[in-house]
Amino acid sequence: MTEIKHRTVKTNGINMHIAEAGEGPVVLLLHGFPELWYSWRHQLPALAGAGYHAVAPDVRGYGQSDAPQPIDAYTMKEHLADAVGILDALGAETAVVVGHDWGAPMAWNGAVLHPERFRAVAALSVPFLQRPPAPPTQLFKQIFQDNFFYMLYFQEPGVAEKEFEADPRRSMRLFLFAASGDDTSQGAGFAGKKKGDQFLTGMHEPEKLPAWLKEEDIDFYAKEFARTGFRGGLNRYRNMDRDWEQLPELAGAKVQQPALFIGGEKDGVLRFTSLDAMKQNVPNLRDTIMLPCGHWTQQERPAEVNAALISFLKGLD
């Protein structure tokens, strides 16, 4: 099995930890919340074995990468500058960018705003979304009114941190299970909550972990988040309105590069988003693949995700 190596690179004024494997054209793998480079542990050796240089950073605010204090250090602009800076540090003119969860908007927006650096894009879980007509939190408040919505719950600094950091291992265990395809409670942890509830309210403790998730995986996440806290990851949500203000050029944007979308049939994210709209705005969408899983696509269905990514990459060459 190909060895995964680790090092720190300088990018956009910060130190960023990357995990990497293989040689060849660069494939940049961007994780989401609350994950780490580790969420790509199954993809790094597979992509390396197929002839690619697979690179998975701990996104700023996570793991062994720097975590600047200011909330506005976590805008989409800063994350995209980090990604471009990684390519510079690697001496790579271009890369294929792959993103999951928050990494997916980073990948899509990177393709729109830096087409000279990202020659193709693959997104997991989150389809390409148009810039909304108003700041996102305004729209969320109109839609959800007095009901709980996690993105609004995450807005107040310190609130979600306090909940998650009380017991990082339990938090990761509940969150990973609740958003997976193995929780048969029909999304009880995410839907039907009242104002005043917490994020983990109603989530079920699994009697046994699903086959794709091992105790040592939970241990890895828990150890890192116990050390760093969750603030860096949560700050991404606190910049959604700022992103809207800073990136008006995304209005009406289309992704022109070759693209791939992989989603989970049981992923709650897809209840809020439209695949049809994505198809209109990504004219070179090569494939849309739906897998029998929940939100943690590349962890729940690694073999299928690896096969889809490698097929897509080979089709570009």
Catalytic residues, which ones? 101, 295
DSSP per-residue codes, the chain: -PPPEEEEEEETTEEEEEEEE--SSEEEEE--TT--GGGGTTHHHHHHHTT-EEEEE--TTSTTS---SSGGGGSHHHHHHHHHHHHHHHT-S-EEEEEETTHHHHHHHHHHH-TTTEEEEEEESS---PPPSS-HHHHHHHHHTTB--HHHHTTSTTHHHHHHHTSHHHHHHHHHHHTSTT--SSSTTTSSPBTT--TTTTPPPPSS--TT--HHHHHHHHHHHHHH-SHHHHHHHTTHHHHHHH-GGGTT----S-EEEEEETT-GGGGSS-HHHHHHH-TTEEEEEEESS-S-HHHHSHHHHHHHHHHHHHHH-
Instruction: Write the CA distances from 18 to 74, 101, 310, integer angstroms.
Output: 18, 18, 21
CB-neighbour burial class of residue 211 (10 A; exposed 0-12, middle 13-18, buried 19+): exposed
Q: Are 260 and 123 in contact (CB under 8 A)?
A: yes
Task: Name the residue among 89, 301, 100 with its Cα closest to residue 212.
Answer: 301
* Dist. CA 185–CA 125, nearest whole Å: 20
Neighbours of 117 (CB within 10 A): 19
